[in-house]
Amino acid sequence: MNFTEEDIKKLDRFFRLNLINAVTGIKPANLIGTISSVGEKNLAIFSSVIHLGSNPPLIGFIVRPTVETPRHTYENIRENGFYTINHVHREFIERAHYTAAKFDRAASEFEACRLTEEYVGDFPAPFIKESRLKLGMQLEQELPIALNGTILMIGSIKLAIVPDEIISDEGYLNLAKIDDVGISGLNGYYALEKIADLPYARVEQLPDFSDKK
């Protein structure tokens, strides 16, 4: 099917929501952990976490519009400036998925979804014990996106917890070894499979693609 811009505008709201969330392909599945200034914990699943730079190490994610609907993750980060990003693995997909439900402000998704709250050293935001790859983040900048009211939250990595067995000598990570999963759309989950290791791309080392169709 081909969809023009006008076709997309005329689509049923939920069909459009599902379609446009899926057309970018598989996205990372991450749980963001936060705590408010009065100790209320929050945990929410996000598929918008992106790499923004390595020096300094910056990671971004998108917060949906906050005007009409309270966003507890956003509010907690605004209050104390710290949060965690935790990879989702195959064994707790369902528990991670249901953190997206609209819980009351005082409710803890950690408790409701049976995920274990964990603190590492003096880092002030909660990690997930079940996650084997996790980042401790500090908010650096917010970039409002005027077109749709979303906000790009930019944070710097203050702590990276990465299993030794998935790191190569060059610093590459084999995420298949820890059963990482990805998300397509709002509720489709995919397993990861590593299928190739290719060298850094240089023009002078371009392979002969003449036999490729």
Q: What is 146-183 written as a DSSP string?
A: TTTTEEEEEEEEEEEE--GGGB-TTS-B-GGGGTBEEE
Q: How many residues does the chain have?
A: 213
- In 10 A of CB 3, how many CB atoms? 14
Residue 177 located in a structural domain: yes
Sign of the four-CA dihedral 99, 100, 101, 105? positive
Model confidence, pTM:
0.92
Per-residue confidence (pLDDT) for residue 176, from 0 to 100: 95
Taking the chain (213 residues) in consecutive chunks of 10 residues, what is each chunk's mean pLDDT? 92 90 91 94 95 96 75 91 97 95 88 95 97 98 93 97 94 95 92 90 91 74
Residue reference for tokens 């020096």: 55
- Give the residue numbers spanning the domain of 95: 24-192
CATH number at residue 156: 2.30.110.10
- List own/partner pairs for 194-200 with CB under 8 A and 24 or more apart: 197/172
In sequence order, the β-bridge partners of residue 191 are: 181
Residues 43-102: pLDDT tens digits?
A: 999 999 999 999 999 999 999 876 666 678 999 999 999 999 999 999 999 999 999 998
Q: Cα-Cα-Cα-Cα dihedral of 137, 142, 148, 149, to 10°? A: 100
CA distance 25 to 31: 19
Q: If you ran DSSP here, which 8-state letter would residue 105 be given?
A: T
CA distance 167 to 132: 13
Residue 16 located in a structural domain: no
Cα dist from 35 to 74, 126, 132, 165, whole Å: 10, 7, 20, 31
Per-residue confidence (pLDDT) for residue 104, from 0 to 100: 85
Can you list the alpha helix ranges (DSSP code H) found in 23-86?
72-80
Q: Kindly give the pairing relationship between strand 27-28 and strand 30-35.
A: unpaired
Give how many domains the chain has, as a whole number: 1
Residue 210 located in a structural domain: no
Residue 18 located in a structural domain: no
Residue 106 located in a structural domain: yes
Residue 41 located in a structural domain: yes
Q: Do residues 36 and 75 lie in contact, with contact meaning Cβ atoms separated by under 8 Å?
A: yes
Residue 40 located in a structural domain: yes
Residue 2 located in a structural domain: no
